[in-house]
């Protein structure tokens, strides 16, 4: 009989310990979520010193898009092209605790039908930083920038298998044009084309 009382008391202590442990874990999870959402995230224009981090994000995107060896641009090329007058591109970065967690890479185009157009080349968030609203904040910054410039359109492309991105853009009010195909000549295509017209 005494053994049963001891077992019951031990089980009761284990149950209370388990509940305390779960409560501590829940509090810690809540702390992490709050820290994530109320962090001192800063969205700003990239500086020349950010180009190493920007290149890392470009490489991360290339791996995600199943083209890990396609990136040819270098830090020096980004510095030269982005920080001369006029710059070939603009870039916004998302920074938290002095770490760049995402970026939006943009440049101007011109539509013969509409006029000035802003092109969003890449919007990339580090894998470990996704789900914190960083993509929304970067896209917000791009749209505000385009509005300030008076552009008639902001355009970008998305891979047809990246349903998460497609859904994200649609939720933001973007229209995905299913009846258009992207057409391009890569560097070798340009050289081959030139060789045929000379």
Catalytic residues: 169
Q: How many CA atoms lie within 13 A of 125 on its CB side?
A: 18
Distance CA 41, CA 140 (A): 14
Q: How far is CA 173 from CA 139, 143, 153, 167, 169, in A?
A: 12, 12, 13, 10, 7
Distance CA 167, CA 176 (A): 10
Element at 3 (helix H, strand E): helix 2-37
Classified as helix, coil or strand, 97 is: coil
Distance CA 5, CA 7 (A): 5
């Amino acid at each position: 009989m005494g053994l049963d009382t001891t077992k019951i008391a031990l089980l009761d202590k284990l149950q209370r310990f388990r509940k305390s442990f779960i409560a501590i874990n829940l509090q810690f999870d809540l702390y992490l979520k709050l820290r994530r959402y109320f962090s001192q995230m800063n969205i700003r224009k990239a500086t020349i010193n950010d180009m190493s981090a920007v290149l890392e994000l470009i490489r991360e995107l290339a791996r995600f898009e199943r083209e890990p060896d396609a990136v040819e641009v270098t830090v020096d090329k980004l510095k030269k092209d982005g920080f001369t007058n006029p710059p070939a591109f603009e870039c916004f970065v998302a920074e938290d605790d002095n770490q760049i967690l995402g970026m939006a890479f943009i440049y101007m185009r011109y539509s013969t039908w509409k006029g000035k157009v802003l092109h969003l080349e890449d919007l990339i968030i580090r894998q470990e930083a996704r789900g914190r609203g960083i993509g929304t904040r970067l896209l917000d910054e791009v749209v505000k920038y385009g509005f300030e410039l008076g552009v008639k359109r902001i355009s970008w492309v998305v891979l047809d298998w990246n349903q998460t991105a497609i859904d994200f853009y649609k939720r933001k009010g973007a229209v995905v044009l299913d009846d258009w195909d992207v057409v391009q000549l890569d560097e070798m295509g340009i050289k081959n084309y030139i060789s045929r017209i000379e």
